[in-house]
């Protein structure tokens, strides 16, 4: 029905998420000592606690996105890696999965396994008091030592590369790095660039970075102009971050953000609300695609 | 193959025994009286065998009639079907000839595990491909002829699934004047069941095009879904945390509901829509044989489709304010007009073709299920058609046998 010259090529980042084309999400979690400090000035909620809570909520979402029917259980629509990074007392990087046994046997786990093996399932009363709601916990707050971000990006690169080799036509891996400080093992920019150069047929791997704030500050989410950023560290993270694909721009707008074309998957001075928004936008794949 | 043939068969079957019994009685009187007992026994055996002979003859006749008979030009061949529910006439697809239907055309029935008391109605008759046809799980064609409309529906599931997991749903009432199509969200829990509940519920009792009426209707539909979901979840709901969480979260789907009112020559129509399932009104031009788009609703351009269409959620039950944007329209169709209801993948393809000057409407009106499947497969391969469940429903007003204008 169509001539060659009128043919529409599939746009990048348009692959649907299904069993033949699963998506890969890699979270890099700063577990350095400074993560014990408050998030956004909230002393009741240290950064590592808030982050563990938020990620547990996000993994819950990702599992539910994979459930189509009770008979079948969650489908393997997503593979997830949660890589924590810190150092020991000698400053040696510790880069390992933040998930508990038996999920810690592999760098990356499928949603059905994630669903079946949380550390525990807490039961909480619903807000409306209509009953209990199950709250699975996969990640405990951990903090200690330095910030070996290079080692973390190196690990992410290995995971992403092997993923693309296995699923060359899937939506490319999404790597989300959440940190509260500067790297203590060197500049990860080169490794982040190498990651962004990994490609599936649907586009290049996406690298997003989010900087947490200890004090009450105005969060900056999805900027497109590094000149407006407050310091060199923020600018460095900006340059390490991929531009948001179109549907993530839409997702950001639907959450009330004025995002301009060229907006990067980057946030700074993030408080809890900004963390939740950032993760929702950065993992929007497979949530709204039909 | 005709209804008349079936009636003749019944008469022939009755005739056999009557003739046999009468002849035997006469023979008994005459032959036994004349002492010819041996001849009587021969006759008795012949009489016993006669019904079987008649049956054989009928079978031979049936087989001859079942040869692919080319339907007379313009005539609508009426198929008598084997199914109890399928005794209304259906129009066969142009090619290939449709073999006798299997006894249970259950392709569109809700699977047993999803059924409770409120079993959504199964639209009859259906014309699935014969068992053994490799495409039987890839294409579903149905048609319905009522007093004033002809409705044909074709469904093609996404390449990674089959008809048993297709999340598009279609239903139409017996009058052929109420039609509904729904597209269950792929990312939602049990959205196939929700889509089916919505179309069956619309056909059963369409909501008025107001938010209050839609809200009241959605509450009832949502209760049905909740019942089906909790039945399906059963004890798994407590053992597997994600089942209860998914049921609490609910499902979502688009809905496009169509109502027609015949006006003698054409019909008036109205539609409600939530989401990106569209209805396109097209008009045939008898002069050049072309078919032109009059309008499409609720989406007019191919660029308007995106990954986040409006969806009707099962959870929109507490407050009218939770409902997504409801669109409503009305129109008038002239004789020769048709309404094409399409789910998003085909709708986007059709509207883009229209925008690029390659009007697809003549083709869409005439395409068989096999032809549509070929187009969809090719479009998926070259990236011109999104790999999603595809539904095409064509609604045409039948021309009255006598033009009412001629009577005035």
Is residue A126 within 8 Å of residue A135, measured between CB atoms? no
B189 and A247 within 8 Å at the Cβ level: the answer is: no
Query: CB–CB of A68 and B352 under 8 A?
Result: no
Q: What is the pLDDT along chain A (290 residues), one digit of tens a residue?
A: 433 433 444 578 988 788 888 999 999 999 999 999 999 878 888 999 999 999 999 999 999 999 999 888 899 999 999 999 999 999 999 999 999 999 999 999 999 999 999 999 998 876 665 677 889 999 999 999 999 999 999 999 999 999 999 999 999 999 999 999 899 999 999 999 999 999 999 999 999 999 998 888 889 999 999 988 888 999 999 999 999 999 899 889 988 888 999 999 999 999 888 999 999 999 988 654 43
B214 Cβ under 8 Å from any chain A Cβ: no
Q: How confident is the model at residue B197 (pLDDT cuts 50, 70, 90)?
A: very high
Q: Which of B187, B356, B375 sits opposite A289 (nearest CB)?
A: B187
The reply to whether residue A67 touches residue B243, judged by beta carbons under 8 angstroms, is: yes
Non-local (6+) Cβ contacts of B137 within 8 A are: B157, B162, B163, B164
A67 CB contacts (<8 Å, ≥6 apart)?
A73, A74, A75, A115, B189, B242, B243, B246
CB A244 within 8 A of CB A252: yes
State how many domains chain A has.
1
Reported as a single tens digit per residue, the pLDDT across B205-229 is 999 999 999 999 999 999 999 999 9
Neighboring chain A residues of B190 at a CB cutoff of 8 Å: 68-70
Query: Contact A96/A104 with Cβ under 8 angstroms?
Result: yes
Mean of per-residue pLDDT scores for chain B: 75
Structure tokens at A240: 């390490």
Q: Which residue of B has its CA nearest to A287?
A: B187
Q: SS3 letters for A137-173?
A: ECCCCCCCCCCCHHHHHHHHHHHHHHHHHHCCCCCCC
Q: Is B229 on the interface with A (CB under 8 A)?
A: yes
Distance from CA of B400 to the nearest CA of A (A): 35
Contact flag B384-A7 (C-beta cutoff 8 Å): yes
* A7 is a domain residue: no
Cα separation, B283 vs B269, in Å, equals: 14
Q: Which residue of A has its CA nearest to B167?
A: A290
Q: Quick check: B60 pLDDT over 90?
A: no
A110 phi, psi to nearest 5 deg = -85, 155
The angle that helices B211-233 and B191-204 make with each other, rounded to 10 degrees, is 130
What is the band of B40 on the pLDDT scale with cuts at 50, 70, 90? low
Query: Does residue A179 sit within a domain?
Result: yes
CATH of the domain at A192: 3.40.50.410
Residues 6+ apart with CB under 8 A from B328: B209, B270, B271, B272, B273
Which residues in chain B touch residue A288, judged by CB atoms under 8 angstroms apart?
A: 187, 307-308
CATH number for the segment(s) B112-405: 3.60.40.10
Structural domain of A261: 28-282
A136, two tokens? 């699975």
**CB within 8 Å of chain B, chain A residues 181-220:** none
Q: Which residues of B touch A67 (CB under 8 A)?
A: 189, 242-243, 246
pLDDT beyond 60 at B82: no
The lowest-confidence range among A166-180, B51-65, B105-119, B328-342 is B105-119
B352 close to A (CB below 8 A) = yes
Residue at A290 is within a domain: no
Q: Do B352 and A70 make contact, defined as CB atoms within 8 angstroms?
A: no
Count CB atoms within 10 A of the CB of residue A187: 13
Q: Give the largest Cα separation in chain B, rounded.
A: 97
Classify strands B337-342 and B278-284 as parallel, antiparallel or unpaired. Answer: antiparallel
The verdict on residue A12 lying in a domain is: no
Residue B306 contacts A where some CB pair is shorter than 8 Å = yes
Of B244, B308, B386, the CB nearest to A134: B244
| pLDDT level of residue B57 (50, 70, 90 thresholds) | low
Choose the closest CB to B242 out of A20, A64, A290.
Answer: A64
B363: which chain A residues are within 8 Å (Cβ-Cβ)? 1
The answer to whether B384 and B349 are in contact (CB under 8 A) is yes
- Output the six-digit token pair for B127: 């014309």
CB within 8 Å: B384 and A8:
yes
ipTM (interface pTM):
0.86
Confirm whether A8 is domain-assigned: no
What is the nearest CA distance from B113 to chain A, expressed in angstroms? 9
CB contact under 8 A, A250 and B113: no
Residue of higher predicted confidence among B32 and B345: B345
Considering only CB atoms, B356 lies closest to which of A6, A60, A251, namely A6
Residues of A in contact with B229 (CB under 8 A): 70
Q: Where is pLDDT greater, at B9 or B236?
A: B236
Instruction: Copy the structure tokens of residue A92.
Output: 């040696």
Return the pLDDT at B23: 65
Tell me how far apart the terminal alpha carbons of chain A are, to the nearest angstrom: 25
B229·A70 Cβ contact <8 A: yes
Q: Give chain B as a 3 state SS string.
A: CCHHHHHHHHHHHHHHHHHHHHHHHHHHHHHHHCCCHHHHHHHHHHHHHHHHHHHHHHHHHHHHHCCCCCCCCCCCCCCCCCCCCCCCCCCCCCCCCCCCCCCCCCCCCCCHHHCCCCCCCCCCCEEECCCCCCCCCCCEEEEEECCCEEEEEEEECCCCCCHHHCCEEEEECCCCCEEEEEEECCCCCCHHHHHHHHHHHHHHCCCCCCHHHHHHHHHHHHHHHHHHHHHHHCCHHHHCHHHHHHHHHCCEECEEEEEEEECCCCEEEEEEEECCCEEEEEEECCCCCCEEEEEEECCCCHHHCCCCCCCEECCCCCCHHHCCCCEEEEEEECCCEEEEEECHHHHHHHHHHHHCCCCCHHHHHHCCHHHHHHHHHHHHHHCCCCCCCEEEEEEEECCCCCCHHHHC
Q: Does residue B308 belong to the interface with chain A, where contact is any CB pair within 8 Å? A: yes
CA distance B186 to chain A (A): 5
CB-based contact (8 Å) between B371 and chain A? Answer: no
Backbone angles phi, psi at A178, to 5 degrees: -120, 120
Handedness of CA B38, B40, B42, B45 (dihedral sign): negative
Q: Are A272 and A55 in contact (CB under 8 A)?
A: no
Distance (Å, whole) CA A88 – CA A94:
7
- Residue B152 scores a pLDDT above 70: yes
CB contact under 8 A, A247 and B383: no
Element (H, E) at A40: none
The secondary element (H helix, E strand) that includes residue A250 is helix A246-254
Would you kindly state where each structural domain of chain B is located, as residue ranges?
A: 3-65, 112-405
Residues 97-126 of A with CB under 8 A from B: 115, 121
Do the Cβ atoms of B344 and A290 come within 8 Å? yes
Contact B358 A2 (CB under 8 A): yes
Whether the bond into A58 is cis, omega within 30 of 0: no
Closest CA to A57 of A285, A284, A279, A282: A279
Do residues A104 and A97 make contact, with C-beta atoms less than 8 angstroms apart? Answer: yes
H or E stretch at A281: helix A272-282
State the nearest Cα–Cα gap between A30 and chain B, in angstroms: 28
Q: A58 to each of A53, A282, B189, how far by Cα in Å?
A: 9, 11, 17
A/B interface, count of CB pairs below 8 Å: 98
Q: Which uninterrupted H or E stretch holds A57?
A: helix A47-65
Smallest Cβ–Cβ distance between B233 and the set A1, A70, A289 belongs to A70
pLDDT bin (cut points 50, 70, 90) of residue B51 is low
């Amino acid at each position: 029905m169509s001539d060659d010259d009128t043919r529409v090529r599939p746009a990048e980042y348009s692959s649907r998420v299904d069993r033949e084309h699963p998506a890969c999400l890699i979270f890099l979690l700063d577990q350095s000592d400074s993560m014990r400090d408050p998030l956004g000035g909230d002393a009741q909620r240290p950064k590592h606690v808030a982050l563990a809570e938020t990620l547990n909520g996000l993994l819950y979402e990702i599992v539910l996105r994979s459930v189509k029917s009770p008979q079948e259980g969650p489908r393997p629509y997503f593979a997830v890696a949660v890589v924590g990074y810190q150092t020991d007392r000698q400053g040696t990087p510790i880069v390992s999965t933040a998930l508990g046994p038996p999920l810690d046997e592999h760098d990356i786990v499928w949603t059905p396994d994630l669903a079946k093996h949380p550390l525990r399932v807490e039961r909480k009363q619903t807000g409306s008091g209509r009953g209990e709601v199950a709250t699975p916990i996969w990640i405990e707050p951990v903090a200690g030592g330095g910030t070996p971000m290079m080692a973390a990006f190196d690990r992410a690169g290995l995971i992403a590369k092997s993923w693309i080799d296995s699923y060359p036509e899937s939506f490319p891996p999404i790597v989300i790095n959440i940190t509260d400080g500067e790297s203590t093992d060197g500049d990860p920019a080169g490794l982040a660039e190498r990651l962004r150069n990994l490609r599936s047929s649907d586009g290049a791997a996406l690298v997003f970075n989010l900087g947490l704030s200890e004090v009450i500050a105005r969060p900056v989410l999805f900027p497109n102009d590094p000149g407006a950023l407050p310091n060199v560290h923020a600018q460095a993270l900006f340059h390490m971050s991929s531009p948001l694909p179109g549907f993530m721009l839409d997702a950001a707008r639907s959450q009330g953000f004025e995002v301009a074309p060229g907006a990067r998957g980057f946030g700074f001075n993030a408080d809890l609300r900004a963390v939740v928004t950032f993760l929702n936008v950065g993992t929007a794949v497979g949530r709204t695609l039909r | 193959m005709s209804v008349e043939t079936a009636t003749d068969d019944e008469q022939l079957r009755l005739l056999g025994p009557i003739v046999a019994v009468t002849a035997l009685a006469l023979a008994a009187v005459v032959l036994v009286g004349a002492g010819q007992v041996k001849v009587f026994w021969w006759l008795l055996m012949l009489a016993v065998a006669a019904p079987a002979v008649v049956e054989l003859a009928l079978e031979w006749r049936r087989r001859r009639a079942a040869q692919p008979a080319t339907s007379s030009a313009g005539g609508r061949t009426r198929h008598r079907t084997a199914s109890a529910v399928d005794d209304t006439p259906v129009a066969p697809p142009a090619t290939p000839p449709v073999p006798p239907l299997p006894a249970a055309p259950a392709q569109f029935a809700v699977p047993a595990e999803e059924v409770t008391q409120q079993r959504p109605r199964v639209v009859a008759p259906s014309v699935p491909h014969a068992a053994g046809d490799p495409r039987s799980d890839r294409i579903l064609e149905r048609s319905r002829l009522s007093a004033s409309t002809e409705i044909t529906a074709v469904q093609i599931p996404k390449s990674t699934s089959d008809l048993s997991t297709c999340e598009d749903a279609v239903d139409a009432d017996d009058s052929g004047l109420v039609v509904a199509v729904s597209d269950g969200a792929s990312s939602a829990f049990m959205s196939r069941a929700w889509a089916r509940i919505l179309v069956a519920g619309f056909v059963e009792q369409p909501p008025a095009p107001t938010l209050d009426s839609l809200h009241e209707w959605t509450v009832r539909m949502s209760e049905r879904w909740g019942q089906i979901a909790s039945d399906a979840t059963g004890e798994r709901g407590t053992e597997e945390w994600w089942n209860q969480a998914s049921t609490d979260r609910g499902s979502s789907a688009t809905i496009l509901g169509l109502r027609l009112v015949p006006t003698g020559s054409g019909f008036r129509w109205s539609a409600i829509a939530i989401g990106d399932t569209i209805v396109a009104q097209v008009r045939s031009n008898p002069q050049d044989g072309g078919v032109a788009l009059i309008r499409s609703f609720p989406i007019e351009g191919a660029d308007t489709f995106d990954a986040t269409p409006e969806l009707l959620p099962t959870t929109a039950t507490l407050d009218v304010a939770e409902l997504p944007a409801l669109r409503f329209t009305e129109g008038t169709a002239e004789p020769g007009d048709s309404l094409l209801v399409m789910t998003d993948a085909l709708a986007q393809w059709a509207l883009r073709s229209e925008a690029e000057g390659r009007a697809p409407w003549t083709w869409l009106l005439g395409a068989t299920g096999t032809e549509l499947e070929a187009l969809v497969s090719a479009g998926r391969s070259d990236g011109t058609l999104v790999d999603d469940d595809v539904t095409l429903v064509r609604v045409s007003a039948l021309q009255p046998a006598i033009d009412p204008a001629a009577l005035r």
